[in-house]
């Protein structure tokens, strides 16, 4: 008879009945081994070993990146996330109360009685006269030449020494429907005056960021076809009126064979002008076939025809900013203004002028020069003498400043509420 061998148990072993306590004891006795920190390639002195470790880490990083991208793609297929709309000035500005509605009967009735109705209903053919200021040089002639190619049925008349009222009479006698005056300053076009004939209105625009055709890369040459006209975001009452005024410069029966398009895009109260030619082309895109029985590569890829449109800019390119809209033809003395750009009030302008003179006085004191007796500063925009504010804002305290300094109107004078853009 074999004797049962008793298992030897350690001295600190728990009694046979307490199994749970024994397990806990064994867990406490075997501590987990902490993984050592990975060795960086910069810590390895052997060049070959260092290259090998670096390549291994790079492969692991790429594999991890591909794995995360695969997981993101699978999650997007299961539940596509909603596209986040960025917050911009356009979609966060307050809606304008003067935005035209499609069912506004009053607006339609006003269109039938305004000054542009005859041209827009093709009862009269638009005929545009283009002229300049008295001293025209620099890029002015080149800009007028390109403007005549943009506007059909337009002609140029040299201004000479004639007054603008005489030019308006000359255009009325020869049945012109519009008069465009290009103003240049320091050999650079800086303003555009559009006068609707015979009875107005007159719009004065600031012209900036002019780029002629020769300065546009890969530009095209326009043809003599009548262009198509695109007006964007002229949605308020004022914008609707300005848009109809611009529309009256162009014929209302475009020639689509010429594939020309002229765009006036209004955004943040600035009108961006572009002139393009377009062409439609057929493009074949090869799409992989899902037929598994297809053996050749030609049968696997099936061509699909797609219509694409290409644009070529013809120039010029410029930006307009409406400054004034006046009833009737051009009259600076007795004219009645329909809309004027908002400048600073007289009190605000006086404050800015006082601050500017104080800065000039401080600069003279720092430079050590002798200030000269001040002369009253006349603002070209408001025609108000700063000397008239002696008793109101304490002009007598700043009696000495540079007589040669002529400060322009301050920057905040350009700030205004939204004019006709809603968004």
Q: How confident is the model at residue 22 (pLDDT cuts 50, 70, 90)?
A: low
Residue 397 above 70 pLDDT? no
Secondary structure letter of residue 339 according to DSSP: E
Give the C-alpha separation, 226 to 150, whole Å.
9
Among the residues of 374-423, which ranges form H helices? Answer: 390-393
CB burial of residue 276 (10 Å; 0-12, 13-18, 19+)? buried
pLDDT of residue 83: 78
What average pLDDT does this structure show over 199-205? Answer: 93
Mean pLDDT (the chain, rounded): 78
pLDDT of residue 355: 78
Find, among 76, 45, 81, 41, the residue nearest to 61 by Cα: 41
Radius of gyration in angstroms for the set of CA atoms belonging to the chain, rounded to a whole number: 38
Total residues found in the chain within this entry: 423
Q: At 325, list the tokens.
A: 């809209």
Cis peptide before 414 (omega within 30 of 0): no
Q: Of 19-28, 149-158, 400-409, which range is least confident?
A: 400-409
Give me the domains of the chain, ranges plus CATH numbers. 106-285+304-340 (3.40.50.10480)
Q: How confident is the model at residue 289 (pLDDT cuts 50, 70, 90)?
A: low
Contact 373, 400 (CB under 8 A): yes
Mapped onto helix, strand or coil, the DSSP state of residue 8 is coil
- Strands annotated E in 4-158: 128-132, 154-156
Give the C-alpha separation, 384 to 369, whole Å.
29
CB atoms within 10 A of CB 340: 12
What average pLDDT does this structure show over 387-397? Answer: 33
Give the C-alpha separation, 292 to 408, whole Å.
76
Q: How confident is the model at residue 417 (pLDDT cuts 50, 70, 90)?
A: very low
Give the C-alpha separation, 361 to 363, whole Å.
5
Cα separations in angstroms, 413 against 130, 137, 351: 31, 30, 12
Residue 6 above 60 pLDDT? no
Q: At 69, list the tokens.
A: 């991208």
pLDDT of residue 383: 35
What average pLDDT does this structure show over 330-334? Answer: 84
Query: pLDDT, tens digit, for every residue of 57-91?
Result: 999 999 999 999 999 888 878 876 677 888 887 78
- pLDDT: which is higher, 40 or 182: 182
Q: At 296, list the tokens.
A: 């050749």
pLDDT of residue 377: 37
- pLDDT: which is higher, 155 or 393: 155
Segment (H or E) for 64: helix 47-78
Give the C-alpha separation, 282 to 182, whole Å.
42
Tokens 């993984």 -> residue:
35
Kindly give, in sequence order, each residue whose CB lies less than 8 Å from that of residue 235, ignoring residues fewer than 6 positions away: 96, 99, 100, 420, 421, 422, 423
Query: pLDDT, tens digit, for every residue of 165-198?
Result: 999 999 999 999 999 999 999 889 999 999 999 9
pLDDT of residue 301: 62
Mapped onto helix, strand or coil, the DSSP state of residue 282 is strand
pLDDT of residue 296: 58
Q: Could you tell me the pTM of the whole model?
A: 0.62
CB atoms within 10 A of CB 179: 24
What average pLDDT does this structure show over 244-255? Answer: 95
Contact 345, 390 (CB under 8 A): no
Identify the sign of the CA torsion 253, 259, 260, 264: positive
Tokens 């905040």 -> residue:
412
Contact 329, 195 (CB under 8 A): yes
* Vertex 77 angle, CA 75 and 79, to 5°: 70
CB atoms within 10 A of CB 403: 11
What's phi and psi for 135, nearest 5 deg? Answer: -115, 105
CB atoms within 10 A of CB 89: 10
Cα separations in angstroms, 15 against 10, 19, 212: 11, 8, 100
Give the C-alpha separation, 201 to 51, whole Å.
79
Contact 126, 119 (CB under 8 A): yes
Mapped onto helix, strand or coil, the DSSP state of residue 163 is coil
Give the C-alpha separation, 160 to 144, whole Å.
16
- pLDDT: which is higher, 332 or 224: 224
């Amino acid at each position: 008879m074999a004797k049962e061998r008793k298992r030897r148990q350690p001295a600190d072993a728990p009694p046979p009945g307490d199994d749970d306590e024994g397990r806990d004891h064994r867990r406490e006795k075997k501590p987990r081994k902490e993984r050592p920190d990975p060795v960086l390639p910069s810590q390895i002195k052997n060049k070959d070993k260092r290259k090998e470790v670096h390549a291994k880490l790079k492969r692991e990083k790429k594999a991890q990146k591909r794995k995360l991208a695969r997981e993101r793609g699978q999650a997007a297929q299961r539940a596509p996330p909603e596209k986040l709309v960025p917050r911009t000035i356009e979609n966060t500005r307050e809606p304008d109360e003067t935005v035209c509605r499609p069912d506004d009967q009053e607006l339609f009735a006003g269109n039938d009685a305004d000054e542009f109705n005859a041209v827009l209903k093709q009862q009269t053919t638009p005929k545009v006269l283009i002229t300049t200021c008295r001293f025209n040089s620099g890029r002015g002639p080149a800009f007028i030449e390109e403007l005549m190619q943009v506007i059909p049925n337009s002609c140029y008349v040299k201004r000479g020494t004639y007054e603008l009222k005489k030019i308006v009479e000359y255009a009325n006698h020869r049945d012109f429907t519009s008069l465009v005056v290009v103003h240049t300053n320091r050999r650079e076009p800086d303003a555009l005056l559009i006068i609707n004939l015979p009875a107005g209105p007159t719009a004065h625009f600031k012209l900036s960021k002019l780029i002629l055709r020769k300065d546009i890369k890969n530009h095209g040459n326009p043809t003599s076809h009548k262009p198509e006209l695109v007006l964007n975001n002229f949605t308020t009452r004022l914008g609707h009126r300005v848009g109809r005024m611009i529309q009256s410069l162009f014929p209302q029966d475009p020639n689509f064979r010429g594939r020309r398009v002229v765009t006036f895009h209004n955004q943040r109260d600035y009108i961006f002008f572009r002139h393009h030619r377009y062409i439609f082309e057929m493009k074949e895109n090869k799409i992989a076939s899902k037929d598994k029985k297809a053996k050749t590569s030609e049968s696997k890829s099936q061509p699909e025809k797609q219509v694409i449109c290409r644009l070529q800019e013809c120039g010029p390119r410029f930006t307009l900013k409406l400054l004034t809209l006046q009833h009737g033809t051009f009259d600076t003395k007795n004219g009645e203004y329909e809309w004027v750009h908002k400048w600073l009030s007289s009190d605000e302008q006086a404050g800015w002028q006082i601050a500017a003179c104080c800065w000039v006085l401080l600069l003279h004191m720092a430079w050590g020069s002798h200030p000269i007796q001040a002369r009253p500063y006349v603002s070209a925009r408001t025609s108000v003498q700063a000397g008239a504010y002696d008793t109101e804002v304490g002009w007598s305290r700043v009696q000495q400043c540079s007589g040669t300094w002529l400060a322009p109107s301050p920057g905040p004078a350009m700030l205004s509420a939204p004019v006709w853009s809603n968004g």
